[in-house]
Structure 1
Amino acid sequence: MRKGFQFDKTTMGITSIHCQSPSGEKHKPRVLLPANVPHSLQRTPPNWIARSNSPTDLIIQVGDSNFHLHKLAMVSRSEYLNRLVFQRGSNTEKAGDSLTIQIKKLPGGKKSFESVVKFCYGIKVDITVANIVPLYCAAHFLEMSEDLEEGNLISKTEAFLTFLILSSWKDTFRILKSSESISPWANDLHIVKRCSEAIAWKACTNPDASSFTCENETPLSRTNNSVDNWWFEDVSCLRIDHFIEVIQSIKRCGIKPEILGSCIEHWARIWFSQVTFGLDKETPIPITLQLHRISTECLINILPSEENSVTCNFLLHLLKAGVMLKINPELLCVLERRVALMLEKCRVSDLLVKNQGDKHCLYDVTVVLRVLRFYVCGMSSNHSAKPHSVGSLVDGYLTHIARDENLSAESFKSLVEALPQKARYCDDNLYRAIDMYLKAHPNLEEDRTDICRVLEYHRLSHEARQHVIQNDRLPLKLTTEFLLLEQVNMATSMTSNASNYQRTNTQTIMRVNKDLEKRQIVNEQEINVMRKDVEMIKSQLLEIYSCKIKLQNQLKRCIR
């Protein structure tokens, strides 16, 4: 079935309009004009001339084209032209015997006006998905309503537009695409809104787009199937303003926030892949930074507020874009807060936000640092906070990015110091990340000491301490300090063991003495042996204590 209307002229000196509706019905012909109907509408650039038995008496200028027409044919259908012709509007002027009218800002320009002229003269006009929107807007601009003539252009285009929007999923998107060039008119006449509501209704009630085609004339049936993401690809092709209108319509339909968030994320990731925010000399598409800024702010504003409706990684990408584009600080704060609240449930992969360009480090660490600082600020007032989960997350993130040769020491150090000590049970994973960074950056000098300053002996396991003592990548001062502390720790341990041994022997002596008293057996030789053992233990304790004092003095001199 042909999607359109056809208008034909008769050969009897009168004009009849044959209008075929989408359902196939034909309306009765209606007599419009006397026998000055043109035999043809000829184009001799830049002019269009209506050839007929009577001379033309009206010239209408649209863009760089001049249409030589008849007043009666045009004013009988257009209230706008009627006022200009008969009320002598300020935009009219005479040129010989013909009245010249200039029409500015006509929706669709000369192409739409050509179809309007054919319609007024009863010449065949094809109304298609591609031209329905500009022709519908042009009809409203020219005020071609039913008040002047039954079956006028507004009603004809309205009927076909409604049919397309309600019946065809793909054509609804084509209509939105064709309305981009005349957005003010399309918005004022609610075309975008009607298309958005139709898309939302179909997305929320039918899991298969194949039911919404012009060829399928069976009534649309509602289904209770769960909503899927089959419509994401089509919606992701929309321009930002049309996409927002569709999302708002879908939100009003009560769709699940997780699906809504996934759709926004899908659209945004395609958009992020097409723009570079001015990082390169040439951007793939000619969009201004202002439009980037507005688009980012709009995306943040339409995000569903429900928990876990969008991923942490997507929010970090939005935050990165917002920082680069200098969007509203309040919106940046909103993003930082949302990500901070999600950190305790995040994985390392969620924090990976890639940079563009060879001169930058592989991942954007500044955006993660912003969120960590925001989290630390709110941690004291949040009694349900789980800082150890975030500490483990950050250590894993540091380990992942440590191998990046372009990662600066300052950035790495800032991430290391972003969390307080209480956010970690121990520093083994932190030491592992630092060691990996030093291995990937062997030319560090002063920065090496600054980075390693956070490592503390008592916060590392025994295995980690042994590795520190033997690690030649660490500053010599740190390994020496760890070596001395390890010796002191060993001496203290030995002293403790000796004390325990003395107490144990004393208890044994007491038990033996009691047995001797009970049995009245006195063995002087055994008592002398025991006394010698005690004296020997005392001398050993004195030696150990003297060694301890010497080690402590050496440690003090080394620290000074």
Structure 2
Amino acid sequence: MMEVFCNLEVDVNGQEIFLVDKKIILSFSGRLRKLFGKSMSKSRNDKVIFHDFPGGAQGFELMARFCYNNGRIEVTPSNIILLNSVAHFMGMAKDVSGTQNLIEQTEKSLEGIPDWTWSEILVALKQYQDFPLVENSSAILQKCLDSLVPRLAMSSDVSPSTSSPDSSGFRLSCDTRSTESMKNSFSRATWWFEDFVVLHLNLIENLIKAMIAQKFSHVILSRFLFYYQKSRFSGATSDEKRMIVESVAEMLFSLHWSSVSCKNLFGILRVALSLNVNKCCRNRLESMIGSQLDQATLDNLLVPSPPGVAYLYDVNLVLRFLRSFLRGGGCWVSSARLKKVGSLMDLYIAEVAPDSCLKPSKFVALAVALPESARDSHDGIYRAMDMYLEVHAGLSEEERMKICCALNYEKLSSEACKHLAQNSKFPSRTAVQALISQHSKLKSLIQDTSYVKPISDSPFSYSEKGTKLKKVEDGDQVVLYARKLDLSSENEKLRAHLQGMQWRVMELEKVCRKMQTQMAKIMKSRLSSSSNARSLPRLCS
């Protein structure tokens, strides 16, 4: 029987002290042989202190069992990663006894990873993340992932095209059997979420890369990352939360942005802003949100301003969203998407207009951020301007004119033009511009109604359909009527249409004359207050 001496004291990471036989341990550990050299005296007591021993006391105990059992130990999926890390750390590639060394045993066992169960691979991954990186560790990780990811792809048989990033599930049919089938499909696609929540960020990053390489659904991957972020926040410190958000944002950035839920992006952005994440993380989140701004809602955009900024809402953030939307979309942004963002911005501008701290330059920047094609009507912009000028009554004439320059008078409705012409909060020049626009529309309408092509210069002209038209233009009145000659039943609708248009034109003329009279009075009172007569100022275009 071999005589055992406890002549070596080993302090393992400050957790526990082991008393072992120096000769036995040194016969298997190249690291300790190098440390002690030829000093193998049994009577001499030595002490070794390890600060970063893989697995701590548990790892050293496993190694000691291997050494005391003459190089034999059962290698299982639950200890293989730890044994391999200890073997590399202690330099156990060669031994005095000539038996198979620990590194060879563990690497031979790793060849059986494809036959491991799902649970056994997860246990190995959990051990991998708990130990310091040592030689060959990346190869072990890759073997685990190469076995894990294909199993996920086979069990999660869901195509990205069948799901939407913002839906809580897939589009379900009214048929009960179809509904249950879809729910089961979604369950198959996400059953592994809970298993991976326990993994550290570095492992999740490697896992996501491997799943992307395997053409895994980006919709499912983005869902998992949001799930992971929320789950890992429980009990985490502020620094840990910041690291999680920054890593999750980086992984989301590597996916197809259209597969990432806009709603969830706004959620993680709010968290990111409260944690003061780095600028790169913020830029990535803003770019992803901006690329699908047409999917956002007004509530999403109402982000409070950062500390130290007087504005009620973070207007600069929204302006950056708009720049990302236009820059990311380029010339291929569809008209429908652009107009959807235009409608959203009308709502947002109306919401921030009553903010007394909002500077005129920021208000104008919001109003002109989108191209003209984004809006068919400027009535929304006009209403927001009306609110803004009411709250900011102390603005100078020049400042008010700069604000009004964002208004396209040609895209104002007749009601808005009429209201603007009588609105004392707006500069007088804008009232003139509104009247000119209204007159131009009226003239176009009259031209559109006089669609019958005359055949002579006579005051009375006849159309090809036999309808006699009388057209009188004296600057104050336009009369349009149709006299029935020999109209058939098919022409009865045309006659009714012409009579309806005649009434509308007459009503518009009354409104126009009233507005002209009111405008003349306004201009007369303003000109009389001036000491020197001068021509009308140049209109703002």
TM-score under structure 1 length normalisation: 0.59
Q: Tell me how far apart the structure 1 counterparts of residues 458 and 117 of structure 2 sit (CA, whole Å).
A: 97
Residue 52 of structure 2 aligns with an amino acid whose one-letter code is K
1:172 matches 2:118: no
- After TM superposition, the structure 1 = structure 2 runs for residues 460-479 of structure 1, keeping only pairs within 5 Å, are 460-466=412-418, 468=420, 475=426, 477=428
Match of 2:278 in 1: 325
1:424 paired to 2:375: yes
Pair 1:295 & 2:247 matched: yes
| Cα distance in 2, alignment partners of residues 476 and 179 from structure 1 | 72
- Residue 207 of structure 2 corresponds to 246
Given that residues 54 and 86 in structure 2 are in contact (C-alpha distance below 8 angstroms), is that contact kept between their aligned partners in structure 1?
yes
Indicate which of 127, 141, 160 corresponds to 2:89.
141
Within 5 Å, which residues of 2 pair with 1:9-28? none
Residue matched to 1:372: 322
Instruction: Give the superposition deviation at 1:204.
Output: 0.7
Please state whether the residue corresponding to 2:28 is helix, strand or coil: coil
Q: Cα RMSD (Å) of the superposition? A: 5.6
Q: 1:80 aligns with which of 22, 25, 31?
A: 31
- Runs of 5+ unmatched residues, structure 1: 1-33, 37-53, 209-224, 276-282, 512-533
- 8 Å CA contact 1:63–1:104 kept in 2: the answer is yes
Alignment of 1:225-244 (within 5 A): 228-244=189-205
With 352-361 and 239-248 compared, the bigger mean Cα shift is at 352-361
SS in 2 for 1:254: coil
Report the Cα distance in structure 2 between the residues aligned to 1:256 and 1:553, rounded to whole angstroms. 69
Match for residue 46 of structure 1?
A: none
Contact 2:338 2:374 in 1 (8 A): yes
In 2: Cα distance, 1:471 partner to 1:207 partner: 63
How many angstroms apart in 2 are the aligned matches of 1:491 and 1:298? 56
CA distance in 1, matches of 2:218, 2:438: 60
Alignment of 1:205-244 (within 5 A): 205-207=154-156, 228-244=189-205
Match of 1:69 in 2: 20
- Residue 492 of structure 2 is matched in structure 1 by none
SS of aligned partner of 2:52:
coil
TM-score after normalising by structure 2:
0.61
Instruction: Report the CA distance between 1:434 and its aligned residue.
Output: 5.0
State the shift of 1:408 in Å.
3.7
- 1:38-437 pair list within 5 angstroms: 55-64=5-14, 65-87=16-38, 97-122=44-69, 133-145=81-93, 148=97, 150=99, 153-154=102-103, 166-185=115-134, 188=137, 190-207=139-156, 228-264=189-225, 266-267=227-228, 284-287=237-240, 291=243, 295=247, 298-299=250-251, 302-304=254-256, 308-312=258-262, 325-327=278-280, 336=287, 342=292, 346-349=294-297, 352=300, 355=303, 364-374=314-324, 376=326, 382=331, 384-387=332-335, 389-400=337-348, 402-403=350-351, 408-409=358-359, 411-432=362-383, 434=385
CA distance in 1, matches of 2:189, 2:513: 77
What is the one-letter code of the residue matched to 2:251?
A: L
Distance change in 2, residues 1:105/1:510 (3 Å): closer
Corresponding residue pairs, total: 442
The amino acid across from 1:107 in the alignment is P
Q: Residue 146 and residue 392 in structure 1: after superposition, are their counterparts in 2 closer, same or farther (change >3 A)?
A: same
- SS of equivalent residue, structure 2 residue 2: coil
- Looking at structure 2, the residues matched to 274 and 477 of structure 1 have their Cα atoms a distance apart, in angstroms, of 60
* Structure 1 letter corresponding to 2:63: V
Give the CA deviation at 1:351. Answer: 9.2
Q: Render the CA deviation track for 1:376-416: whole Å, top value 9, x for unaligned.
A: 5688x73x544564144233244157436778455444222
CA distance in 2, matches of 1:270, 1:408: 38
Seen in structure 2, the aligned counterparts of structure 1 residues 537 and 434 have a Cα distance that, compared at 3 Å, is closer
Q: Is the 8 A contact 1:145 1:152 kept in 2?
A: yes
Q: Would you say the 8 A contact 1:313–1:351 is kept in 2? A: no
* CA–CA separation in structure 2 for the residues paired with 1:170 and 1:356: 45
Which blocks of at least 5 consecutive residues in structure 2 are unaligned?
A: 158-184, 463-470, 478-509, 528-535
Distance (whole Å) between structure 2 residues aligned to residue 85 and residue 455 of structure 1: 86
Amino acid at match of 1:326: K
In structure 2, relative to structure 1, the CA distance for the partners of 1:165 and 1:412 (3 Å cut) is farther
Provide closer, same or farther for how the CA distance between residues 74 and 130 of structure 1 changes in structure 2, counting only shifts above 3 A.
Answer: same
Shift of 1:60: 3.1
Structure-2 separation of matches of 1:316 and 1:546 = 51
Report if the CA contact (8 A) 2:92-2:103 is conserved: yes
Which is higher, the Rg of structure 1 or of structure 2? 1
Q: Is the 8 A contact 1:133 1:179 kept in 2?
A: yes
Q: Tell me what 2:2 maps to.
A: 35
After superposition, the Cα gap between the structure-2 partners of 1:186 and 1:173, relative to the gap in structure 1 and judged at 3 Å, is farther
| 2:125/2:141 contact within 8 Å kept | yes
Secondary structure at the aligned position of 2:10 is classed as strand
Kindly, what percent of the aligned residue pairs are identical?
23
Separation in 2 of the partners of 1:357 and 1:372? 17
Distance 1:253 1:552, change over 3 A: same
In structure 2, distance between residues paired with 1:539 and 1:391: 39
User: In structure 2, what is the Cα distance between the partners aligned to 1:376 and 1:67?
Assistant: 66
* Partner of residue 407, structure 2: 455
Cα deviation, residue 246, structure 1: 0.5
